[in-house]
Amino acid sequence: MKKYALIGHPLGHSLSPEIHTRLMKLGGVDGSYELLDIPPEELEARYTALAELDGFNATIPHKVGIIPYCTRLDMSAERFGSVNCVKNGEEKVGYNTDVFGFSRSIDMLGVTLASRVLVIGCGGVGRMIASEAAYQGGDVTVAVLPDFLADAESTIDHAKSVIPGVKLRTAVINSGTLSALDIAGEKFDLLINASPVGMFPKTDACPCSDEVISLCGSVFDVIYNPKETLLYRKAKGMGKPAMTGMAMLVLQAAAAQEIWNGIRFADGDLKQLISDMEAMI
């Protein structure tokens, strides 16, 4: 039996074991997937046991801390300086399957990143999303609160040093919620919420005004709990294509299984799994 795990701290309830178990069943893999709560100060002592697994995922706070333990990094991890998937073997190779899950979710939404993209938030996932959208040819604006402007500018500087010619700029959220004034009334093809605004249990919050939503062609919210965020409901109410983050969660897990076991999943199976996971929330 192959053995896999998710490491992080703290680890509360996670859908990852259920998702990976379902994916392994679809792929005919005899394997198990467990949760390992590992404080950062214990990572070094417990790495020997991790190296004996066939592979593992890493979440906060280990996405950067695990890098020194990798023999090498795949381009997906090297580009963003973040690892969330490790394949063990003669080499310990670090990947970033979050980017695969994000890109495939946008494909499923039926839009392209090579367009005008507005990203709200510049935390770990926001940095990856903004950089990947720019890498794929997007003209990207990153909207952040004043306290996070330096982080956003640092992300932009790094992206420009790694990917010359990318189009990235910042916008400042002046009143806690992104307004049309903050973006000078510009229109965008795609709005992405990469902030925690609207996440359970504060489900009555929206990261931007209705006017901002009206200026955007499609909406992607990385939040998957609740399965329908207020931003998602507002966008759908305006007749806009919209998606929340469960697809990204499932598709990044599918990418990990592809890396670990060489599995290729049918789109219909993945869509069904996404629906099933949403029903569990």
Q: Residues, the chain, total?
A: 281
Q: How would you classify the pairing of strands 116-120 and 2-8? A: unpaired
* Cβ(146)–Cβ(175) below 8 Å: no
Cα distance between residue 120 and residue 116, in whole Å: 13
Report whether 200 contacts 225 (CB < 8 A): yes
Catalytic residues: 63
- Contact by Cβ (8 Å): 97, 259: yes
Q: What is the DSSP letter of 228?
A: S
Nearest to 108 by CA among 16, 242, 229, 18: 242
Angle (CA) 38-42-46 rounded to 5° is 80
Token pair belonging to 172: 């400042």
Cα dihedral across residues 230, 233, 237, 239: positive or negative? positive
